[in-house]
Amino acid sequence: MPVPLAPPRTRFILHRMGELATATRNRAWAQIPDAETLREQAIRARDTVLADLPGHLARLEEAATAHNVTVHHAQSPEEANRLILETLRSLEAQVILHNHHPLLDELHLDQAARLQGIPITPLHPGDHLAWLAQTRPGHPVWPVGHLSVEEISDILHAQLRTPKTYDPDHLASMVRMPLRRTLLQVDAAVMVAHFAAAREGVLVFLDNDGHNASLLSLARHVVMLLSVELMAAHMEDVQHVIRVFALSAWGRPWPAYVSYVHSPAPAEEDGPRTLHLILVDHGRSRIIAQGFGQALRCIHCGACHTVCPVYQQIGAAGYGETAYSGPIGTVLNPLLLDTPEAQEQTFLCHHAGLCMQTCPLEIPFEQLRQAYRQAQAQNRRRGWGDRVLAPWRRRFGRRT
Ligand code: SF4
C-alpha cells in the first residue's frame, strides 16, 4: 500500500529538526572522553537482561514486592489497560495525570480510558498538545516537534479558546498554566518508567522539564508501568543506560531530572502512599524466543528518527496506527503486531544506513528486517503447503 508523503511544511520541519538534533547529539557525544566504553557498557547492560528476561523479571518482582509495591503482569495492551483502569477505579481517583512515554501509545491507554469514562490527562506539554489535537505523538522524545507554531496556535485556539499568537514562549505558557493547576489537584498518576534496576527493585523516570518529579511528589497513588525489556540487572548498569539515553535523546551528558522510586513514601513525607507496578510483556518474550531480541535493545531515544530520510518524508503519520515510527518502528511494529499494515513497514527504508550508524545501541536494523521477511516468507510457504496438502491429510488422517 503506498504511504503518503507528509505535507511540505511538515517535511521541512522534520528535516530541520533532524539537522539540529543531530548536531546537538554529535557535539554532546564528542565531549565524552570514554564514549566507546560507555556505548559498550550500555549494550552489555541491555543484552544481559535480554539474555535472561524471566530471571531479571523475577528479581525485580521480588525486590519491588519487598518494598511494598503491588506488582501485576500484563501480557497484552487490553490486560494492561484493564489493570490500570481497575486500579484507578478502586482508588477512587478523580484527577489523574500521565507522564510521557511511547509505551502509552502502544497500549492506546487514552482511548481505553475515554471509552471507560475515566479521564486521564497527559502532563507533558507536547503530549498534551497531541492529545488536544487527537493525534498520535510524532516522535518518542518531541511529541509535537513536527508541528509549526501556527499549527500549535490553531490547536490551542480551537481546543482551549486561547488568543492566536505565534510567540513560542507565550504558546508554551498557555499549555503549561492550566496543566499546573491540574497538577496541584492530582490524586493519581499513571507513569511509565524509563528503566528499572532488577536487583534493587528501583524504577527510574527521566525528563527535562520536571513533570515526572512533580507527579511523584504530588500524586498520592501512582500506577507505574514498565515495558519488561527496559530493565537493567542493577543500578550500576542503569547509570550507563541513563547516560546513553540523555546523550542520544537530548544531547546532554545527564538528564535534567532523574527520579528513582522503590517504595511508597512514609506518611510524613511527600510522595505516593500506594505504588502499583504493571510489567507489560505484550510479545516481548516471544520476540526474544524468535531470535529478534536485539530489536529490544531500543531505549526510545529517538536518535534514529532524526537521521532517517524516510521518516523525514512521511512523518509519524506514515506509520499509520502502529505505536513506533522511524527506523525502529520498521523493526518493532511488525514484530509486535504481525498485521499486514505493520508487516509492510519492513520496506519503509531507503537503505541509507544512517540509523545503524546513529543508534547508540548498535541495533542491526537491516539484518533484523531481512530476517523477519525471510521468516514471513517461510511461514507463507508453509501455509501454502498446508493448504495444498489439507485434502490428503483429511482423507488419509495423518500428516503428510
Ligand atoms: S533504535 Fe536506537 S537510536 Fe532508535 S530510538 Fe531505539 S535506541 Fe534510539
Q: What pLDDT, in 10s, does the model give residues 290-344?
A: 999 999 999 999 999 999 999 999 999 999 888 899 999 999 999 999 788 899 9
Which amino acid makes up residue 395? R
Ligand 1 centroid vs 140 CA: distance in angstroms? 10
Ligand 1 centroid vs 296 CA: distance in angstroms? 10
Dihedral sign of CA atoms 237, 242, 247, 248 in order: positive
Task: Tell me how far apart the alpha carbons of residues 232 and 15 are, in angstroms, rounded to a whole number.
Answer: 34
Contact 205, 212 (CB under 8 A): yes
Cell representation of residue 150: 501556527
Task: Tell me how far apart the alpha carbons of residues 369 and 330 are, in angstroms, rounded to a whole number.
Answer: 8
| Continuous H helices in the chain | 8-30, 35-51, 53-66, 77-90, 102-107, 109-115, 125-132, 149-160, 168-184, 211-218, 235-245, 284-289, 309-314, 326-337, 340-343, 354-358, 365-396
C-alpha dist (Å) from residue 274 to 63, 121, 225, 265, 266: 16, 20, 14, 8, 10
- Please choose from 22, 294, 301 the residue to mutate so as to test ligand 1's pocket, defined by most ligand atoms within 8 A of CB: 301
Ligand 1 centroid vs 344 CA: distance in angstroms? 20
Ligand 1 centroid vs 396 CA: distance in angstroms? 52
Nearest CA to ligand 1 atom 4: 304
Q: What pLDDT, in 10s, does the model give residues 154-201?
A: 999 999 999 999 999 999 999 999 999 999 999 999 999 999 999 999
Nearest CA to ligand 1 atom 6: 298
Contact 317, 364 (CB under 8 A): no
Q: What pLDDT, in 10s, does the model give residues 11-21?
A: 999 999 999 99
Task: Tell me how far apart the alpha carbons of residues 371 and 357 are, in angstroms, rounded to a whole number.
Answer: 20
Ligand 1 centroid vs 242 CA: distance in angstroms? 13
The whole-model pTM stands at 0.94
Cell representation of residue 183: 497538577
Residue 105 pLDDT exceeds 50 = yes
Task: Tell me how far apart the alpha carbons of residues 168 and 162 are, in angstroms, rounded to a whole number.
Answer: 14
Contact 354, 312 (CB under 8 A): no
- Band the pLDDT of 381: cuts 50, 70, 90: confident
Nearest CA to ligand 1 atom 2: 359
- Please choose from 38, 298, 362 the residue to mutate so as to test ligand 1's pocket, defined by most ligand atoms within 8 A of CB: 298
Task: Tell me how far apart the alpha carbons of residues 284 and 238 are, in angstroms, rounded to a whole number.
Answer: 20
Average pLDDT over residues 59-73: 98
Task: Tell me how far apart the alpha carbons of residues 25 and 14 are, in angstroms, rounded to a whole number.
Answer: 16
Ligand 1 atom with the smallest distance to the CA of 249 is: 8
Q: What pLDDT, in 10s, does the model give residues 220-250?
A: 999 999 999 999 999 999 999 999 999 999 9
Ligand 1 atom with the smallest distance to the CA of 303 is: 3
Q: DSSP letter string over 244-282?
A: HHIIIIISSSS-SEEEEE-SPPPTTSSS-SEEEEEEE-T
Task: Tell me how far apart the alpha carbons of residues 190 and 65 are, in angstroms, rounded to a whole number.
Answer: 19
Cα Rg of the chain, angstroms: 22
Task: Tell me how far apart the alpha carbons of residues 65 and 141 are, in angstroms, rounded to a whole number.
Answer: 31
Ligand 1 atom with the smallest distance to the CA of 140 is: 5
Three-state DSSP state, 345? helix
Show the ligand 1 pocket: residues with CB < 6 angstroms.
248, 298-304, 328, 358-359, 361, 363
CATH 3.20.20.70, domain 9-287, yes or no = no
Nearest CA to ligand 1 atom 3: 359
Three-state DSSP state, 177? helix
- Please choose from 311, 328, 349, 358 the residue to mutate so as to test ligand 1's pocket, defined by most ligand atoms within 8 A of CB: 328
Ligand 1 atom with the smallest distance to the CA of 299 is: 7
Dihedral sign of CA atoms 331, 333, 335, 339 in order: negative
Contact 232, 49 (CB under 8 A): yes
Q: DSSP letter string over 37-62?
A: HHHHHHHHHHHHHHHTHHHHHHHHHH
Query: What is the 8-class DSSP label of residue 117?
Result: T
- Band the pLDDT of 387: cuts 50, 70, 90: low
Which among 163, 139, 134, 164 is positioned nearest to 149, based on CA atoms? Answer: 164
- Please choose from 250, 330, 363 the residue to mutate so as to test ligand 1's pocket, defined by most ligand atoms within 8 A of CB: 363
Q: According to CATH, where is 3.40.50.10420 located in the chain?
A: 9-287
pLDDT at 375: 93
- Please choose from 240, 300, 324 the residue to mutate so as to test ligand 1's pocket, defined by most ligand atoms within 8 A of CB: 300
What average pLDDT is seen over the chain?
Answer: 94
pLDDT at 268: 86
